[in-house]
Chains A and B, each alone.
Chain A
Amino acid sequence: MNFTQSFRLALKSLMTSKMRALLTMLGIIIGVGAVIVITSLGNGMQQMMNQQFEQLGANLLQVQIYNYGGLSSRTVSPDDMYALVDKYPQYLSGVSPYVMTQGVVREGSEEFTRTSIYGVSEFFYDARRNQAMSGETLAKGRFLSYIDVSRYQNVCVVGSYLEQNAFGGDALGKTLTIKGTPFTVIGVLAEKADNSEGSGDDVIFLPYGNAMRLNGTGSVDLYLFNSTSKEGSTTAKGIIENRLFQTYQDDNAYFVMSSAEMMDAMNTMMSTMMIVLVAIAAISLLVGGIGIMNIMLVSVTERTREIGIRKSLGAKRKDIRGQFIIEAGTTSAIGGLLGIGVGIALAQLAGGLIGGMMAAQMGGGATFSAVPTLGSIGIAFGVSVGIGVLFGYLPANKAARLNPIDALRYD
């Protein structure tokens, strides 16, 4: 009934004392702004991590085998793992050993000490999708073949950093040495990171048998599986675990990690973290609410006479209460809108900075954008109005219960 008038009155009194209004709203502005910034950055972060997982392959399963220093005679061979994939084609689409090696890489007088060297099988690379299990794509030449792997050929595929810096941009057919053993370059990977030393572009892939020889070990500790679908990855994990348990009879001897599960775990963790941060930011909203309550109590005292006049003209308690609640709600709603504006601006700024940093570190594949969701904006606005109404209730009720005679006499 008198909503529009109360609303206009509230706007009018806010406009006539801008400084006071701004200070009153400050808590709400900061609180809402912080919530928007946190949710925006959190969303951006989550999106980026998901992108990276997708890039790595959401279907990826990592199998780590703990060899107990070679004490146990129980062991699974790469052939056992291939057999597993053949047995369950509806869940598993491929497997590759993954042997990591350290060693100095030389080309002529050039020496590379931070290069990551991995021994894999031909299944590591999916020619149909033109993508390796760890996300790389081929730029030139070919990937390792069955013959390369089975015959322990000294061939390798190098990352773009090595091609640029060791071979001046033309690596195909050239030779480099790893720990003194010469390898012929048969393929070059496309740039993935920022093409710097030690980055994802400073890599070499070679047949896993050759890598084991370089390492001087006889068993594979790590396998990468691909499941046929993201949804089937939990089943695929179970299949692999069953098979490993058959051999080792001890579920501490191995560990199977699925990307999909990890992604879920990561997302859950991020969400939890975001809730905690938002809860901390919400304390500022509480303080803002108390600020509004304080100023409303002052306002009720200042306007005691007005309340008396309104009551003498027939305003009921609910009319007076409504007027002051609308005023408090309007104040906090405007504070909320300002907070949303400030929050979006800050999120954009921070997002730009963090995005730039991330892109430099993780490579071009990852994009970071701190955009608040419509939902979080809506909730932030709703909460700020709610806080005004909640904290406005006490002063409004005080106003509503004033005795009209005393109120009229008040100076």
Chain B
Amino acid sequence: MEHLIELKDVYKIYQMGDETVHALDGVSLTIDQGEFVAIVGSSGSGKSTAMNIIGCLDVPTTGTYHLGGIDVSTMDDDQQAEIRNKMLGFIFQQYNLIPKLSVLENVELPLLYAGLDAAERRERAMSSLSRVGLRDKCKNLPSQLSGGQQQRVSIARALAGNPSVILADEPTGALDSRTGREVLSFLQKLNREGDTVVLITHDNSIAVRAKRIVRLQDGRIIYDGDARDPRAVVQPEELLGDDESGFDGADAGEGAAV
């Protein structure tokens, strides 16, 4: 069976001054349709780079990335933009709504770039807003909504284009814990309804809400498995003594099977 997301031996290498930084150091990862995966790691672990590559905002230095069977690792700017538009829905920590546009216009944006006509845009954006329960706020400006509501608008925007993958980058980072829990519940609900969700976070307590956890450290996967496995939430430092390569090889394969 074809995987929805398939990264194979992905390296991302930056040159920072004299130093060569391996942001991703040979990452192989597969995610299937309908999964809820949390990519966890502390800062500098490479999780942001991983999210950029999975989100088609960046391309790997070497290695391949297939999204929905298409090789996107060698695409140029505009081709990537099209893939983002058709297959990916982003949810950001800072909501990233455009302040001058109304809630409805914000949700319509991905549909605008998809080239839909005005009537269809409106209809799909409204139904997307209904899913997050903000249909009645469609005329408001983002600044007139609470943080939780703004994040729900950004979820509605991510859903509007009917993407294959929903990519949430620290979606609760700017919210209080109660609203954060609501947002996570909503992501779980989306996943139950069949959406594929990839959650990027540094916070174990959030990561455990996913079904599967992929833990990154120094650009490598050090754990990939069921979120309920106690090893999934063990702090990386405690693992330092263990045989890393063993985890890498074994779990990369195991992850797909879970």
Contacts and interface: CB of A to CB of B under 8 A. Distances in A.
Interface of A: 1-2, 5, 9, 12-13, 16, 305-306, 308-319, 404-405, 408
The 3 A-B pairs at the shortest CB distance, nearest first, are namely: A314-B85, A314-B113, A313-B110
A405 B86 contact: no
Contacts of A309: 96-98, 109
A311 B113 CA distance: 9
Contact of B100 (A12, A313, A315, A317): A12
Interface string B101-113: 1000100011011
A317 B77 contact: yes
Q: Which of A12, A306, A309 has the most CB of B within 10 A?
A: A309
Given A309-B98, A311-B81, A314-B161, A5 B112 contact: yes
Q: Which of A9, A16, A408 has the most CB of B within 10 A?
A: A408
Interface stretch (B24-32, B52-60, B124-132): B52-60
Given A313-B90, A314-B86, A316-B81, A2 B112 contact: yes
19 contacts: A1-B112, A1-B115, A5-B105, A9-B100, A12-B100, A305-B96, A306-B98, A309-B97, A310-B113, A311-B84, A312-B57, A312-B90, A313-B110, A313-B113, A313-B161, A314-B81, A314-B84, A315-B81, A408-B96
Interface string B74-100: 000110011011100010100011101
B122 to A, nearest CB: 12
A198 B113 CA distance: 77
Contacts of B98: 306, 309-310
Contacts of A306: 98
Contacts of B52: 405
Contacts of A408: 57, 92, 96
A319 B58 CA distance: 19
B113 A405 contact: no
Contacts of A311: 81, 84
Q: Which of A2, A319, A405 has the most CB of B within 10 A?
A: A405
Nearest to A319: B113
Contacts of A315: 81, 113
Contacts of B77: 316-317
B109 to A, nearest CB: 5
Given A309-B98, A312-B57, A313-B113, 6 more contacts: A2-B113, A313-B90, A314-B113, A316-B77, A316-B82, A318-B78
B106 to A, nearest CB: 9
B157 interface: yes
A16 B99 CA distance: 13
B78 A317 contact: yes
A137 B96 CA distance: 82
A404 B78 contact: no
A314 B82 contact: yes
A1 B82 CA distance: 15
A12 B115 CA distance: 23
A404 B57 contact: yes
B250 interface: no
Contact of B57 (A12, A316, A319, A405): A405
Contacts of B157: 313
A12 to B, nearest CB: 6
A308 B58 CA distance: 13
B234 interface: no
Nearest to A308: B96
A314 B115 CA distance: 11
B109 A310 contact: yes
Contacts of A319: 113
Contact of B85 (A305, A313, A405): A313
B145 interface: no
A9 B52 CA distance: 29
B114 interface: yes
A405 B58 contact: yes
A308 B94 CA distance: 13
A398 to B, nearest CB: 14
Interface in B194-238: none
A406 B30 CA distance: 27
Contacts of B82: 314, 316
B115 A312 contact: no
B23 to A, nearest CB: 12
Contacts of B85: 313-314
